[in-house]
């Protein structure tokens, strides 16, 4: 199990964040389409089945994450390891969702661009459904605090308050 530190916020546009990454020597490590289905049962943990499409190849995974509903941009969550869903274990995954009494509550469709520099990862998401843009900065707390501070003016200009 991993503990994840992440700043995450909705923005009007992702363009300034992409520009920041490019100008500060972050490298694109992945770019793909993604469909994520969230499952909950009223508890503090949610299940996620995520299908990533890289060109014509699809990979689906199941994982679990704390359902962190606070309004702070900094989220600290536990996240399970990923289970790649195959033909051989699909029945197991379906039965696990059922036995845990998890209900499909949301489906997200998005295009994700992942930039990385050392231990800091930017996940820049252009959502197709529901329509929105989200930027997340993940990594070690001290490092992402520093990046978040350096982005303050760009964040203030672009952030959508909920």
Could you tell me the maximum CA-CA distance found in the chain, to the nearest angstrom? 49
- Measure the CA–CA gap between 99 and 83, rounded to whole angstroms: 17
What is the per-residue pLDDT across 104-146, written as a single tens digit (0 to 9) for each? 989 999 999 999 999 999 999 999 999 999 999 999 999 999 9
Choice between 43 and 151, residue whose per-residue pLDDT is larger:
151
Choice between 110 and 43, residue whose per-residue pLDDT is larger:
110
C-alpha pair distances (Å), 125 with each of 66, 89, 100, 109, 133: 20, 29, 29, 10, 6
pLDDT of residue 43: 87
pLDDT of residue 3: 82
What is the per-residue pLDDT across 47-103, written as a single tens digit (0 to 9) for each? 999 999 998 899 999 999 998 767 788 989 999 999 999 999 999 999 999 999 999
Give alpha helix (H) positions in the chain. Answer: 15-23, 90-99, 141-150, 152-158
Phi-psi map region of 66: left, alpha, beta (phi>0 left; psi -120 to 50 alpha): beta
- Measure the CA–CA gap between 7 and 11, rounded to whole angstroms: 13
In the block, tokens 């009494």 appear at 101
pTM: 0.88
Ordered by where they begin, the domains of the chain are: 2-158 (2.40.320.10)
How many CB atoms are closer than 10 A to CB 141?
Answer: 13
pLDDT of residue 162: 65
């Amino acid at each position: 199990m991993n503990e994840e530190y992440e700043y995450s916020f909705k923005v009007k546009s992702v363009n300034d964040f992409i520009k920041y990454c490019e100008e500060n020597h972050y490298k694109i490590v992945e770019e793909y389409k993604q469909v994520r289905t969230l499952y909950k049962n009223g508890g503090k943990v949610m299940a996620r089945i995520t299908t990533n499409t890289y060109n014509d190849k699809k990979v689906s995974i199941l994982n679990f994450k704390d359902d962190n509903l606070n309004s702070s941009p900094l989220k600290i969550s536990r996240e399970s390891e990923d289970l790649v869903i195959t033909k051989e274990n699909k029945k197991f995954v379906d039965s696990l969702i059922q036995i845990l009494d998890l209900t499909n509550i949301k489906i997200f469709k998005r295009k994700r661009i992942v930039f990385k520099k050392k231990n800091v990862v930017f996940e820049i998401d252009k959502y197709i459904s529901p329509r929105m843009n989200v930027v997340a900065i993940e990594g070690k707390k001290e490092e992402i605090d520093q990046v978040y501070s350096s982005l303050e003016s760009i964040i203030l200009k672009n952030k959508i308050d909920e």
